[in-house]
Amino acid sequence: MSEHGTSIGFYVMIFLILLVLTGVTVSAAFINLGPLNPILALGIATTKALLVVLFFMHVKGASEKLVKLVVLSAVFFLLILLGLTLSDYATRLWS
């Protein structure tokens, strides 16, 4: 576990970045970017989630790859669920 060396200042910095990103995503929602709106919102959300997972949950400093593998497999199967279900709805000839 490598977080013994991580300073409190670093955690506070991550926290501040997360707050700024929250501000950015709220303001961006009021600007008309067309189809980019949801993409931007999800992009920012994913960035925030990554910051939390990598630094607050210490996946970045994890000594073995196993934890990363668990996270990736969860995301992979979630995307399978969303993606393959969407593939049906996106290509229906009726409805």
Partner 1 sequence: MSDSQTTAVQAAAHGHDPALLHHFAEPQQQRDAASLGMWWFLATEVMFFGGLFCAYLIYRLQHFNDFAAASQSLSIKLGAINTAVLIGSSLTVVLAVNAAQRAKRNLLVAYLLLTLVLGSTFLGIKAVEYTDKFKEHHVPGPTFHFVPERMEGHPEQPPIDQRHAEMFFSLYFVMTGLHALHMIVGIGIFVWLLVMAWKGRFTPSYNTPVEIGGLYWHFVDVVWIYLFPLLYLISRHR
Partner 2 sequence: MAMPNGPQGERENYLNKEYGVGSWLLTTDHKRIALLYLMSITFFFFIGGFFALLIRLELLTPAGDLVQADTYNKLFTMHGMVMVFFFLIPSIPAVLGNFLVPMMIGAKDLAFPRINLLSWYLYIIGGVMMLHCMLTGGVDTGWTFYTPYSTAFTNTKIVEAGLAIFVAGFSSILTGLNFVVTIHRMRAPGMTWSRLPLFIWAHYATSIIQLLGTPVVAITIVLVAAERTLHLGIFDPKLGGDPLLFQHLFWFYSHPAVYIMILPSMGIVSEIIACFSRKRIFGYNFVALSSIAIAVFGFLVWAHHLFVAGISIYAAFVFSLLSYAVAVPSAVKTFNWTATLYKGSIRYDAPMLYAFGFIGLFMMGGLTGLFLSALGIDVHVTDTYFVVAHFHYIMVGGAVMGYLGGMHFWWPKISGRLYPEGWARLAALIVFIGFHLTFFPQFVLGYLGMPRRYYDYSHMPEFQVLNVLSTAGATILGVGYLLPMIYFLWSMRYGKPAPDNPWNAAGLEWKSASPPPTFNFDVEPVVTWEAYNYEELDAPHPQEAPVVR
Give the binding site for partner 1 (CB under 8 A): 1, 3-4, 6, 8, 11-12, 14-15, 18-19, 22, 25-26, 29-32, 37-38, 41-42, 44-45, 48-49, 52-53, 55-57, 66-67, 70-71, 73-75, 77-78, 81-82, 85-86, 89
| Rounded Cα gap, residues 43 and 15, in angstroms | 18
Note whether 20 and 65 are within 8 A (CB).
no
Q: Quick one: the chain helix, strand, coil %, rounded to 5?
A: 75, 0, 25
Binding mask 24-43 for partner 2 (x = CB under 8 A): --------------------
